[in-house]
Amino acid sequence: MDLTSSSGGAGDPRQIEETKPLLGGEMSAVEGGKLGAVPCRRALLLCNGMRYKLLQEGDIQVCVIRHPRTFLSKILTSKFLRRWEPHHLTLADNSLASATPTGYMENSVSYSSIEDVQLLSWENAPKYCLQLTIPGGTVLLQAANSYLRDQWFHSLQWKNTNLTTQEHENIIVAIAPLLENNHPPPDLCEFFCKHCRERPRSMVVIEVFTPVVQRILKHNMDFGKCPRLRLFTQEYILALNELNAGMEVVKKFIHSMHGPTGQCPHPRVLPNLVAVCLAAIYSCYEEFINSRDNSPSLKEIRNGCQQQCDRKPNLPLRLLHTSPDLVCQEATLSESRLKSVIVTSNEIHVEVERNNTANQKMTASAGNDSEPNLIDCLMVSPTCSTMSIELSPQADRILGCYVEILKILSDYDDWRPALASLLQPIPFPKEALAHEKFTKELKYVIQRFAEDPRQEVHSCLLSVRTGKDGWFQLYSPGGVACDDDGELFASMVHILMGSCYKTKKFLLSLAENKLGPCMLLALRGNQTMVEILCLMLEYNIIDNNDTQLQIISTLESTDVGKKMYEQLCDRQRELKELQRKGGPTRLTLPSKSTDADLARLLSSGSFGNLENLSLAFTNVTSACAEHLIKLPSLKQLNLWSTQFGDAGLRLLSEHLTMLQVLNLCETPVTDAGLLALSSMKSLCSLNMNSTKLSADTYEDLKAKLPNLKEVDVRYTEAWKNPP
């Protein structure tokens, strides 16, 4: 910030002047403690409009003179015993402090104790000096030149000016018109943050700050380049939460940002709100994260269960005290950590107890043909316990406010896909995932994702890449966030199975990692889990005979399970009849045939010899894939001009690995389904004419299908040489 002010002289104020040695130029001896009354004058204000940038810190010479009260003290403070000390002074918010608190500046000088600030300009006075009058003495500051001296003078004057609350509000109201088309600069953001913290119920917050924050959320492109804007937005939302209506006011503000229509017209609002929420949630755990190397490992988070632990919070957390640049560092601990570790910090006491005995029992030995009883293993609750975190009341309010905002955001249908995508990588610190209150509150958001029928939403429940846990793992039985005996897990499995995830790969993953929870939930009558177990038997996912018998026993223990198992047995008998050797080798369905027509035809006899099936120009969809995968000898399949899509293509790629010829001309398949064809190593001929094939996917398929000889990619992005 620049101030228009003065110094004495008409020359260039930045020019370095000839100076006396700092200890050479002595001023008159102080007699009878009258230094404050020595004749002096302030430098006259110049009319040349000189501007000075306010200082935050700098090097300067310091001399402190105490007012003598006795004859001895008069001698000790005489000019002959006076000395100057070099210090690097910092103009903090409340006081003038030294980087090396020794000597004169062992204790900081508070601005409230400074009675007067003057420029020394009498004859024979030390050059470029300031005089600070404090109770019981005087502080002299000597700069290197007049310009630097004037900078210190105006900076101290600015810091020493205590404005009333009403004056603060008047300043904010006066500045408001300048912010109609501009973001507030960093210094102004700090000023606004301070006002939000100290006066959250001020009318200025609602009347002046609201349009400023709305503009920030609508137009800001990157909080990383302007972190003070993010901090100001955080403090503004907290100030709204402090009002009588609390979260209702925050909810109305978010609704005003979204707008009354079903589609928000401002694409930057949601990413900016999520960024503010993530930064605020991180700030609640920052003190603990930075205290020492005590972050839980990902293995602890995956395998552990939350446990209560008593502690007493010491220091309050506040958003403004965090670093402006939000840096989330994920510390990976070695697996050789102690089994019992107690970590103490200013904010959080943590107890970690690890015991992998239960996990070892769950894992069958490599040479053992029989697997342990999974139901019995599931009944043994894991003894591995992760961290129990308790925050200070202030941090608790901050956490509750911003998790509630995430809940509000998840209620908007148009925002939910983008929100799910932003949260899919789990952008929270591991400490938050170990905090029972956080995971319990966030469960509402995950439930909203699991209830959304759109694949782009509920697919974000899965991990963002192989080898990394997603929300599906964290909220499944045995996961750190599961607190409902698997109800949310069953909902997630139901929506994923109802989408395009009824695949052998997905079932195999459930069988390897979550078979015990699936069996337990099926035992309790959960229809989704009963269907899962039936599909595992139907697709031959389970190889071990003992485990198959356990699954059958589980299914027969409930009415719904018994009914679905009987239907499975009927389908298996029909499948054996369908796959019995005999029947035609070639078959073509009439045009306009439907999925039901195909199912009726295949149930009418044996098709064990069927090698060539043409469904061209019919009305079949991806639903017919469940019937096609039952044809063991099928080598050629024609789906030209049908509505067969990505979901069916994924299912075919997992079961018809011996398929040699596939015609997908003029079908609605996309890269998402075509990439699955890379597992069909026997493909020799592939027609993708007039599909949504991209050039990258085409190159990927060519590299992964070694037997591919004939390819038709005309009228696609990969068609390089059109006629």
Q: Mean pLDDT lowest for which of 30-44, 500-514, 577-591, 666-680?
A: 30-44
pLDDT value at position 685? 95
Domain ranges of the chain: 2-160, 580-712
Confidence of residue 86 (pLDDT cuts 50, 70, 90): very high
> Looking at residues 505-516, what average pLDDT do you find?
86
Whether the Cβ atoms of residue 133 and residue 115 lie closer than 8 Å to each other: yes
Most confident residue range from 134-148, 254-268, 567-581, 604-618: 254-268
Whether 519 has a pLDDT exceeding 80, the answer reads yes
> Looking at residues 362-375, what average pLDDT do you find?
38
Confidence of residue 704 (pLDDT cuts 50, 70, 90): very high
Whether the Cβ atoms of residue 469 and residue 463 lie closer than 8 Å to each other: yes
Q: How many CB atoms lie within 10 A of CB 582?
A: 11
Kindly state the helix (H) or strand (E) to which residue 479 belongs, with its residue range: none
For residues 7 and 515, the model is more confident at 515
Percent of the chain scoring above 90 in pLDDT: 41
Per the document, the length of the chain is 723
Residues 6 or more apart from 693 whose CB is under 8 A from it?
A: 671, 674, 713, 716, 717, 718
**CA 468, 471, 476, 480: dihedral to nearest 10 degrees?**
80
**In CATH terms, are 2-160 and 580-712 the same topology?**
no
List 592's β-bridge partners, or say none. none
Confidence of residue 305 (pLDDT cuts 50, 70, 90): very low
Whether 9 has a pLDDT exceeding 70, the answer reads no
At 387-441, the pLDDT tens digits run 567 788 899 999 999 999 999 999 999 999 999 999 999 999 988 998 999 999 9
Whether 616 has a pLDDT exceeding 50, the answer reads yes
The top-level CATH class assigned to 580-712 is alpha beta
pLDDT value at position 674? 94
At 635-678, the pLDDT tens digits run 999 999 999 999 899 889 988 888 999 999 999 999 989 999 99
**What topology is assigned to 2-160 in CATH?**
PH-domain like (2.30.29)
For residues 18 and 645, the model is more confident at 645
For residues 370 and 538, the model is more confident at 538
Instruction: Compute the mean pLDDT over every residue in the chain, rounded to the nearest whole number.
Output: 78
DSSP 591: T
Q: Strand 57-66 and strand 85-91: pairing?
A: antiparallel
> Looking at residues 583-610, what average pLDDT do you find?
87
Taking alpha carbons only, the member of 293, 351, 282, 307 closest to residue 480 is 307
At 101-129, the pLDDT tens digits run 998 899 999 888 888 888 887 667 778 89
Whether 308 has a pLDDT exceeding 50, the answer reads no
For residues 271 and 723, the model is more confident at 271
Whether 269 has a pLDDT exceeding 80, the answer reads yes
For residues 24 and 513, the model is more confident at 513
Q: Strand 95-98 and strand 109-110: pairing?
A: antiparallel
